[in-house]
Amino acid sequence: MDERALAERLVTYDTSSGEGLRRAAGFVKGWLESREIDVHEGSFGELPVLTAEVGPRDGPTVVLHGHLDVVPGHAEQFSPRVEGDRLIGRGAYDMKGGLAAMMCTLRDVAEQDAVRVRFVCVPDEESEDVESRSTDDVIRGGFVGDFAITGEPTDLHVGVEAKGVLACRVRVSGRSAHGSTPWLGDNAVLKAIDAFRRIESLPFARESSELFDRPSINLGRIKGGDRFNKVPDECLMDVDIRYLPGQDVSDILRQIGEIPDCHVLRTLQRVPAFVSRRNPYVRALVEAIGMRNSGKSMSVGRDGASDAVSFLEAGIPAVEFGPTGGGHHGPQEWVSLSSVTTCRQSLNDFIFSLPRWLDQNNGVALRRPKLPESAGDRQAELDGGGFA
């Protein structure tokens, strides 16, 4: 089964649910094991986490990281269809096309003896819980390396930066009145909509950086009122802010808090991603992609956050790299099948050329970073290739 057929098969699993995730993980495990790659199946809560590795244990170590889960879709979106070069279906772009390329790469490089390649497939990248994630758990367990690639869609570019996440629950206060006399009240729902428009125009929202035009701000949920015949005196809204590397979260919250009658009740945060474009692993990956992509590979910033941050927070350089497509999380999500092939070929080229790049870097591979303290006593497991 090549990467195109594999991507199509992966789309058939509705991995927005626990049952679908377990079935899909079983397929991934079976596919790899049928190609003589040992797979360890762990768990995060009730969800499966798969890990595998090939190559020498004492070589420079690259982690290929992907996720199986998708946002919910309609039933027909899990019946993939191919139109020309496009594979259309839920998760085709985010990120089952990239996952298929990584799975094939793991098999392609299994016999080489210069680079240790570790593969991890997680079930909760799309989770709203930014504080407890399986990727963090895997890293704490010692499944790390010198460099990590997460297969998020990047249109065959290298994502060296990604926006951070600041999820805010904001309470907007009003004044109740009878629904027949709304002029006697102060409608909190209407005020909330106005407050959101003000958030969009705050100073932080107009800032830019080298790779980003502006932060991303989305009104994800809004809830207000308890009766149809009453002016609502309170409204809650959940605002999803994807802020830029270098922006100060405390300053963003201060600006929001200065909007009249607005109070931030709760926040969830995930820091932005950043890795130097001069890193030898990054340079080697960019060169490998450029050879297959007519020299068009470049470093880019990603609007969406990703689990690459988990590796970065552990001191492991990490980037995003995946195929070309569009419409992720939408009704017509698609991935370019030829780009899935290019993605696989580029990853192969990167791994086979990596020893040369590291030799050019004064003959010394970058040192594996020190593990987080919580995983410090797991070094033996790291060397042994397992995690609990």
Say what the pLDDT of residue 254 is: 96
In the chain, the percentage of residues whose pLDDT exceeds 70 is: 91
CATH code 3.30.70.360 for 164-270? yes
Res 69 pLDDT > 80 = yes
Say what the pLDDT of residue 367 is: 46
Domain boundaries, the chain: 3-162+272-384, 164-270
Say what the pLDDT of residue 171 is: 97
Within 8 A by CB and 6+ apart from 261, the residues are 172, 173, 174, 191, 195
Rg (CA), the chain: 23
**350 within 8 A of 343, measured Cβ to Cβ:** no
pLDDT tens digit sequence for 176-220: 999 999 999 999 999 999 999 999 999 999 999 988 999 999 999
CATH code 3.30.70.20 for 3-162+272-384? no
Res 387 pLDDT > 60 = no
Res 383 pLDDT > 60 = no
Per the rule left: phi > 0, alpha: psi between -120 and 50, beta: everything else, 55 is left
Sign of the C-alpha dihedral computed for residues 201, 205, 208 and 213 taken in this order: negative
**pLDDT band of 1, cuts 50, 70, 90:** low
Res 364 pLDDT > 50 = no
**122 within 8 A of 68, measured Cβ to Cβ:** yes
Say what the pLDDT of residue 356 is: 87
For residues 108 and 59, give the distance between their C-alpha atoms in angstroms, rounded to a whole number: 17
Cα–Cα separations (whole angstroms), residue 361 to 158, 194, 206:
20, 55, 40
* Full strand arrangement of the beta sheet holding 86-88: 81-83, 86-88, 334-336, 325-326
The reported pTM is 0.82
Res 64 pLDDT > 90 = yes
For the ranges 126-135, 139-148, 310-319, which has the lowest average pLDDT?
126-135
- Over residues 351-370, the mean pLDDT reads 69
**pLDDT band of 273, cuts 50, 70, 90:** confident
For residues 10 and 8, give the distance between their C-alpha atoms in angstroms, rounded to a whole number: 5
In the chain, the percentage of residues whose pLDDT exceeds 90 is: 75
Retrieve residue 319's tokens.
């980037």
| Higher-confidence position of 350 and 386 | 350
- Over residues 300-311, the mean pLDDT reads 80
Q: If DSSP states are collapsed to H, E and C, what string results for 52-120?
A: EEECCCCCCEEEEEEECCCCCCCHHHHCCEEECCEEECCCHHHHHHHHHHHHHHHHHCCCCCCCEEEEE
